[in-house]
Amino acid sequence: MFAAQLPPLTASLFSLVAIASLLLSFVMLGSRWLTDYLIAFAGQSWLIAILSAAVGYYGHYPELYLIAVLTALFRGVVLPYLILRIIRRLKVNREIHERLSPSACLVVGAVLVLFAFVVSSHLCQALGLTGTAAVLALTVMLSMKLIGFLMLAVRSEALSQILALLVLENGIFLGSQILVPGMPLLIELVILFDLLVVVACFGVLVRYLLAQTGTSDASLLRRLVG
């Protein structure tokens, strides 16, 4: 663990960036507009890029700079641009059928964060991980995953679902950056290209959905077709 020997001010800036990226996923929960989701996702990706550059600087992992640049470029620019193109083509700019109102989502999300915190502190005790950075990374990771699942469950617009998947993935990436910063570069590259494929597939899927059902509302898909 690199985070044990950080000076206190740097440590608090670290946790500030991590929790700010968690906050941006709450922006997605609390808003109804698809462009808000997109901006929040892009901001989150930039924060994660800053975080991995900082981990690279303080933990002396030079390859993390490259990953930071790639993260900012792919997650922060290319993926949002692709999704923006889909949004423009769809002419749907907000979530219409809500199963749970945004304010209720925020409160449920807060409960999920508490749950993630309890789980990760128990996990760190069981694994013998010391230092608050591990608990912080695990908490942020787990709660971003849970928020992603929550969004997948309560939002029915196809684009919200793509973004929910991406938030889920961002959470895993953020956690791995702090917990195991020395991951091989190749794995990171593979993950990034995976994401590109995911978004491209979703683009095709949304088009198909439009052609078949006339809307991009995933809640209308109730029947499995073999």
Partner 1 sequence: MRDILLQIGQVLSVILLAPLLQGVILQWEERVQRAQGPGVFQPYRDLWKLFHKQAVVPQTASFIYWIAPIVAFTCMLTVPILIPVLTDFPLPQSDMGDILGGGLILTLGSFFITLAGLDSGSAYGGIGSSRAVMLGILAEPTLILVFVGITLLAKAMLPFVVNHLLVQQPALYWSPAHLFLVAAFFILLLVETDRLPIHSSTHIEVYMIEEARILEYSGPLLALLKWASMMKQFILYTIFCNVLLLPWGLSKQGTAVGALAAAAALFGKFLLVAVSVVFVETAQSRLRYYRYQEPLAASFLLAILAIVANQLR
Binding site for partner 1 (CB under 8 A): 7-9, 11-13, 15-16, 18-20, 22-23, 26, 30, 102-104, 106-107, 109-110, 113-114, 117, 121, 132, 135-136, 139
Of 84 and 106, the one with the shorter C-beta distance to partner 1 is 106
CB of 45 to partner 1, least distance (A): 19
CB of 225 to partner 1, least distance (A): 39
CB of 143 to partner 1, least distance (A): 9
CB of 175 to partner 1, least distance (A): 14
CB of 76 to partner 1, least distance (A): 22
Instruction: Map the chain to HEC letters.
Output: CCHHHCCHHHHHHHHHHHHHHHHHHHHHHHCCEHHHHHHHHHHHHHHHHHHHHHHHHHHCCCHHHHHHHHHHHHHHHHHHHHHHHHHHHHCCCECCCCCCCHHHHHHHHHHHHHHHHHHHHHHHHHHCCCCHHHHHHHHHHHHHHHHHHHHHHHCCEHHHHHHHHHHHHHHHHHHHHHHCCCCCHHHHHHHHHHHHHHHHHHHHHHHHHHHHHCCCEHHHCCCCCC
Of 58 and 73, the one with the shorter C-beta distance to partner 1 is 58
Of 20 and 198, the one with the shorter C-beta distance to partner 1 is 20
Of 9 and 197, the one with the shorter C-beta distance to partner 1 is 9
Of 86 and 140, the one with the shorter C-beta distance to partner 1 is 140
In Å, how far are 35, 85, 86, 156, 226 from 91, measured between CA atoms? Answer: 12, 10, 9, 16, 30
CB of 127 to partner 1, least distance (A): 16
Of 107 and 221, the one with the shorter C-beta distance to partner 1 is 107
